[in-house]
Structure 1
Amino acid sequence: MTPLTDRRNFLRTASMFGGALAIPAMPAMPAWARSGTHGLGSAIDVLTGNDIKLSIGHAPLRVGGRTSHAIAVNGTVPGPLIRLKEGQDVRISVTNTLAEDSSIHWHGLLLPFQYDGVPGVSFPGIKPGETFVYEFPIRQSGTYWYHSHSGLQEAMGHFGSMVIDPAGIDRVGFDREHVLVLSDWSAMHPHAILKKLKQNGGNFNFQKQTLGGLLTGKDQSAAERRMWGKMRMDPTDISDVTGAIYTYLVNGHGPDENWTGLFAPGERVRLRIVNAAAMTNFNVRLPGLAMTIVAADGNLVRPVETDEFQIGVAETYDVIVRPAEDRAYGFIAESIDRSGMVRATLAPRLGMVAPVPERRPRPLLTMKDMGMEMAGHDMAGMSHDMGSMKMPDPSVAPQVRMGPGVATLAAMPMDRTAERPTGLEDVPHRVLTYSQLRSLDPNPDPRNPSREIDIHLTANMERYMWSFDGVKFSEGAEPLAFRHNERVRVNLINDTMMPHPIHLHGHFFEVVMGEKGHRPVKHTVNVLPGGKVAFDLTADALGDWAFHCHMMLHMHAGMFRVVTVRADEDAA
């Protein structure tokens, strides 16, 4: 199917021709995602059991009073919630009714690689009109999700959530639970978005610095602007795709629709929060209500109380809140560049509305976000040197293939896991950092790594070129090879000025920080601009696995590799 630049065109075409292009009038909202839900225990359309059937097809989606074209699972956006139990076997039959190939990847699940759902890596994909049967044992518990790994279908609504209950007693005590799926939505087709970004990397950034910001002292000084200008860098270039064209959603509901989840005062309410956005990291808070983080990426952590946290694309967090008062509380998810936000409500009764805070001023990037810690230096005095500093120094990363796709290399990348993430550096309340996370259970593999590798996250942001080590996947990037069960330390070095949520399929890894033996176990880690993150991986899953930035357009543009795990006798 040829991508349509505006999804309204699809609806007009469907109405003209009918037949194969006909789509239902409106998709039904799953009961668990409807406003006013009492929680998962009351949802009657959650899919459970050993035999589950899913169908991928076209659907209209109405957001903010405008109807546009979506790709839905079982006719809904988000798709149905699948609830399974650790220790069971599941058979999921997926039928593709589209006129193009499709797929489903089970994000964060440990399973045989041939059922991981990545076309061209672990299986051929699902052809139009065909059904593919995924069969695998459930080896874990927690909050997960699923989505397409074909083209840009995920950005068009092809995603849903999963809850896997533990085989024994759930060690997270709670009285009620809600799933909150965050996403971003635009009536503009994602291929058209990508085209505009390739033409102008800052196409959707309408928060650039102004003369008024200079005069009021809210933006950079004149000297700083000259310095950044010489480097052709923009300190407001925080998100590629912004609230200028995105509407941010909770469970398919926009900010004005006020999705509401119910509670009784005094209850312990578990919020299972999934970031299913295509391109948006969110800063999440419930003003006036503390949150206790109890799980990250499905794995239990030692409880840590906070007031706000950043959730990268593809991450999940479970939090416990205990609203004591008989009043409404706002759930606020603000894009990290603060170009937009979505609100929802927790309330004792439907119809109650919590106050909606004003959007906070957009942040500015600093030299640290460029991988250059310049604290204590005179910016005006250094401005004449900035043009030369813009040129990347290959000696800091000899394995990176230099070329037009590598605009910068971080000269002094820092471990920023103990730092507040982008946009939350100066807020007056508590903010979660990765360094606060500790695995509740001991890490399963106590071995030290036998080797380590560096992987640079590289880009030319102006030309919208993204890669690992300066090589786009389409340029014949070699697989990252591991021996079965070997222990390896992977150092991710972000040479760009944007955060990147890096996801490894088929495995969990331990983020290297804090107390050894109880490091957080994750499948996705957000690497801050100019920063570095190390993780220890036990390559215990044979096969070929995707490894990529989960910002969909970054992955699509080249920030993708294959990880191959082979037994010794099969290794090259």
Structure 2
Amino acid sequence: MAPFPARSASSDGYRIVAAPARARFARPDRPETDVWTYNGTVPGSVVRLRQGERARLVVENRLDQETTVHWHGIRLPNAMDGVPGLTQPPIEPGKSFVYEFTPPDAGTFWYHPHANSLEQLGRGLAGAMIVEESEPVAVDRDLVWVISDWRLNDGGGIAPRFGNRMEAAMSGRVGNTVTVNGRVSEAESFLAGERVRLRIVNASLARIMALRFEGHRPTIVALDGQPCDPHEPENGRILLGPAMRVDLALDLGGEPGRRYDVIDDFYDGLSYRLTQLAYDARRPIRDHSVDAPVALPRNPLPEPDLASSERHTLTLQGGMMGGGMMGGGGGMMGMGHGAVWAINGQSMNGDGHAGMEPALVFERGRSVVLELRNETAWWHPMHIHGHSLKVLSRNGRAVPHRQWQDTVLMAPKDVVEAAFVADNPGDWMLHCHVMDHQMSGMMTVLRVA
């Protein structure tokens, strides 16, 4: 099988404009929606970079409010991380900011605002970022699905009232319309016999997904951009919290002319069809399936020394107490200053600002083990900036398949151990990527000095 050709632009070939536009998510007879976009589309242009090559990205702000861009999952210099006040001044309306960095890791990443992020992401500001391997991977096609959900009103507009306090204390702003690459997807076209690398980005504000590919056996080859041991998902369900990514090797062994459902059944009683794999009626492109597995080359992540590592506990607290995943009941833990969530008893609201005091300080180069304890009744995808975490165990059981992640999904009452080398100097945020949760307190700062 011939390797899939690289398609990255030149290292200084990107200009990204954040501006209002209109989009049509569904059929032509449905109304258009006022959205905020990167380069006029939802999602924004796919940014393709080369591993180990310096990139220059100019972001221009044509919104009527300040913004920044966070290059989610990239291990980059602190000044390029896109947190307003903490790492850079916000980009004012009519102004531009130049981001320059050299991506050390190949894989699937994404970019989004880190200013008024609940509303700006909720109105459409998101895009995929692909950092290509130095040696192409042997697949027939390399596809990206950016999955977003939207809360639309009857007229097709985006429902207002971002930051509802009661919602923020529960599962966050889950939408009523789900799109794949900016449209409600009836079907995605495939050819029998082909092998596809399918990169899936969950760009939702709060929606957690559990995807099932009926009639197929996808193989997970990377999580959050980092290669893992190729394996089939547990119980056939691919679990993706907000901000998480997964790379699948998908062998199209179905019948020509048939359609196969892709189902999201995470929420009890709210299963729906995300899309269908629609096979062309032509005969398979090869006579037999591809035997060789897709194994991605590992990235140059520093391996933590567990024997000499320092250990810290971060406890997630707050929210509406009691009840189930989509239920309620119980009382709200008061955090003060509009916060309903906390980490180790401390709340940081909003998107980031100057003077944020770190909860933990690490000497540069130290190996660190973080114990993350979810004492709440809700799910939290916990995202670390500037680093990737080697997930060691979940609820006392070792995690298989070599998992490095920048966004770790935690179920209610979960206890997760994760390790990393604090080798990237600066003040780095760690927060929940259910954006309502981040904005209302579930955020802290880790300093590498």
Q: TM-score, normalised by structure 2?
A: 0.81
The equivalent of 2:402 in structure 1 is 519
The equivalent of 2:10 in structure 1 is 49
Local SS of the residue matching 1:118: coil
The equivalent of 1:225 in structure 2 is none
The equivalent of 1:316 in structure 2 is 245
In 1, distance between residues paired with 2:169 and 2:300? 44
- Structure with greater proportional helix content: 1
Identity of aligned residues (%): 34
Larger Rg: 1
The equivalent of 1:206 in structure 2 is none
In 1, distance between residues paired with 2:270 and 2:86? 36
Q: What is the letter of the counterpart of residue 317 of structure 1? A: V
The equivalent of 2:359 in structure 1 is 479
| Aligned partners of 1:82 and 1:162 also within 8 Å | yes
Is the counterpart of residue 543 in structure 1 residue 426 in structure 2?
yes
One of 349, 373, 378 as aligned partner of 2:280: 349
The equivalent of 2:261 in structure 1 is 330
Local SS of the residue matching 1:554: helix
Q: TM-score, normalised by structure 1?
A: 0.64
| Aligned partners of 2:148 and 2:202 also within 8 Å | yes
Local SS of the residue matching 2:32: strand
In 2, distance between residues paired with 1:439 and 1:467? 38
In 1, distance between residues paired with 2:75 and 2:181? 25
Query: Using a 3 Å threshold, how does the CA distance of structure 1 residues 311 and 516 change in structure 2: closer, same or farther?
Result: closer
In 1, distance between residues paired with 2:357 and 2:79? 21
Higher relative CO (Cα under 8 Å, sequence separation at least 6) belongs to 2
Local SS of the residue matching 2:83: coil
The equivalent of 1:247 in structure 2 is 177
C-alpha deviation, 1:444, in angstroms: 3.5
Query: Using a 3 Å threshold, how does the CA distance of structure 1 residues 505 and 493 change in structure 2: closer, same or farther?
Result: same
| Aligned partners of 1:47 and 1:81 also within 8 Å | no
C-alpha deviation, 1:190, in angstroms: 7.2
| Aligned partners of 1:266 and 1:323 also within 8 Å | yes
Is the counterpart of residue 456 in structure 1 residue 315 in structure 2?
yes
| Aligned partners of 1:280 and 1:335 also within 8 Å | no
C-alpha deviation, 1:344, in angstroms: 1.7
C-alpha deviation, 1:454, in angstroms: 0.8
| Aligned partners of 2:105 and 2:300 also within 8 Å | no
Is the counterpart of residue 283 in structure 1 residue 244 in structure 2?
no
Query: Using a 3 Å threshold, how does the CA distance of structure 1 residues 124 and 154 change in structure 2: closer, same or farther?
Result: same
In 2, distance between residues paired with 1:275 and 1:126? 25
In 2, distance between residues paired with 1:287 and 1:97? 43
Deviations 1:360-394 (A, max 9, x none): xxxxxxxxxxxxxxxxxxxxxxxxxxxxxxxxxxx
In 1, distance between residues paired with 2:159 and 2:425? 34
Query: Using a 3 Å threshold, how does the CA distance of structure 1 residues 286 and 120 change in structure 2: closer, same or farther?
Result: same
The equivalent of 1:507 in structure 2 is 387
In 2, distance between residues paired with 1:113 and 1:331? 39
| Aligned partners of 2:303 and 2:420 also within 8 Å | no
C-alpha deviation, 1:80, in angstroms: 0.6
| Aligned partners of 2:173 and 2:205 also within 8 Å | no
Question: May I ask how many residue pairs the two structures share in their alignment?
Answer: 394
Deviations 1:59-79 (A, max 9, x none): 123335343321110011111
In 2, distance between residues paired with 1:516 and 1:552? 27
In 2, distance between residues paired with 1:164 and 1:263? 24
Query: Using a 3 Å threshold, how does the CA distance of structure 1 residues 555 and 201 change in structure 2: closer, same or farther?
Result: closer
C-alpha deviation, 1:339, in angstroms: 3.1
Local SS of the residue matching 1:318: strand
Is the counterpart of residue 139 in structure 1 residue 141 in structure 2?
no
Local SS of the residue matching 1:81: strand
More moved, 67-76 vs 553-562: 67-76
Runs (5+) with no aligned partner, structure 2: 282-295, 321-330, 333-338, 351-355
C-alpha deviation, 1:305, in angstroms: 1.9
Local SS of the residue matching 1:63: coil
One of 428, 431, 440 as aligned partner of 1:557: 440
In 2, distance between residues paired with 1:446 and 1:518? 17
In 1, distance between residues paired with 2:426 and 2:300? 26
Q: What is the letter of the counterpart of residue 201 of structure 2? A: V
The equivalent of 1:168 in structure 2 is 135
In 2, distance between residues paired with 1:336 and 1:477? 37
| Aligned partners of 2:383 and 2:406 also within 8 Å | yes
Local SS of the residue matching 2:65: coil
The equivalent of 2:376 in structure 1 is 496
C-alpha deviation, 1:201, in angstroms: 5.3
Query: Using a 3 Å threshold, how does the CA distance of structure 1 residues 341 and 470 change in structure 2: closer, same or farther?
Result: farther
Query: Using a 3 Å threshold, how does the CA distance of structure 1 residues 460 and 251 change in structure 2: closer, same or farther?
Result: same
| Aligned partners of 1:446 and 1:517 also within 8 Å | no
| Aligned partners of 1:299 and 1:439 also within 8 Å | no
1:422-441 matches, within 5 Å, as: none
Deviations 1:235-290 (A, max 9, x none): xxxx4444xx5211111122xx4142x32211111110111111011011111111
One of 281, 285, 292 as aligned partner of 2:219: 292
C-alpha deviation, 1:539, in angstroms: 0.5
| Aligned partners of 1:182 and 1:248 also within 8 Å | yes
Q: What is the letter of the counterpart of residue 90 of structure 1? A: A
Is the counterpart of residue 62 in structure 1 residue 27 in structure 2?
no
C-alpha deviation, 1:478, in angstroms: 4.2
| Aligned partners of 2:263 and 2:271 also within 8 Å | no
Q: What is the letter of the counterpart of residue 176 of structure 2? A: Y
In 2, distance between residues paired with 1:154 and 1:319? 25
Query: Using a 3 Å threshold, how does the CA distance of structure 1 residues 86 and 494 change in structure 2: closer, same or farther?
Result: same
Query: Using a 3 Å threshold, how does the CA distance of structure 1 residues 190 and 148 change in structure 2: closer, same or farther?
Result: farther
One of 402, 410, 414 as aligned partner of 1:531: 414
C-alpha deviation, 1:333, in angstroms: 2.9
Local SS of the residue matching 1:194: coil
In 2, distance between residues paired with 1:128 and 1:504? 28
C-alpha deviation, 1:481, in angstroms: 1.4
In 1, distance between residues paired with 2:228 and 2:310? 27
Is the counterpart of residue 197 in structure 1 residue 55 in structure 2?
no
Query: Using a 3 Å threshold, how does the CA distance of structure 1 residues 148 and 285 change in structure 2: closer, same or farther?
Result: same
The equivalent of 1:81 in structure 2 is 46
Q: What is the letter of the counterpart of residue 277 of structure 2? A: L
In 1, distance between residues paired with 2:173 and 2:206? 7
C-alpha deviation, 1:508, in angstroms: 0.8
In 2, distance between residues paired with 1:487 and 1:293? 28
The equivalent of 1:372 in structure 2 is none
Q: What is the letter of the counterpart of residue 111 of structure 2? A: Y
Runs (5+) with no aligned partner, structure 1: 1-40, 203-238, 351-437, 567-572
Query: Using a 3 Å threshold, how does the CA distance of structure 1 residues 340 and 135 change in structure 2: closer, same or farther?
Result: same
| Aligned partners of 2:172 and 2:436 also within 8 Å | no
One of 333, 340, 343 as aligned partner of 1:465: 340
Query: Using a 3 Å threshold, how does the CA distance of structure 1 residues 478 and 544 change in structure 2: closer, same or farther?
Result: closer
Local SS of the residue matching 2:402: coil
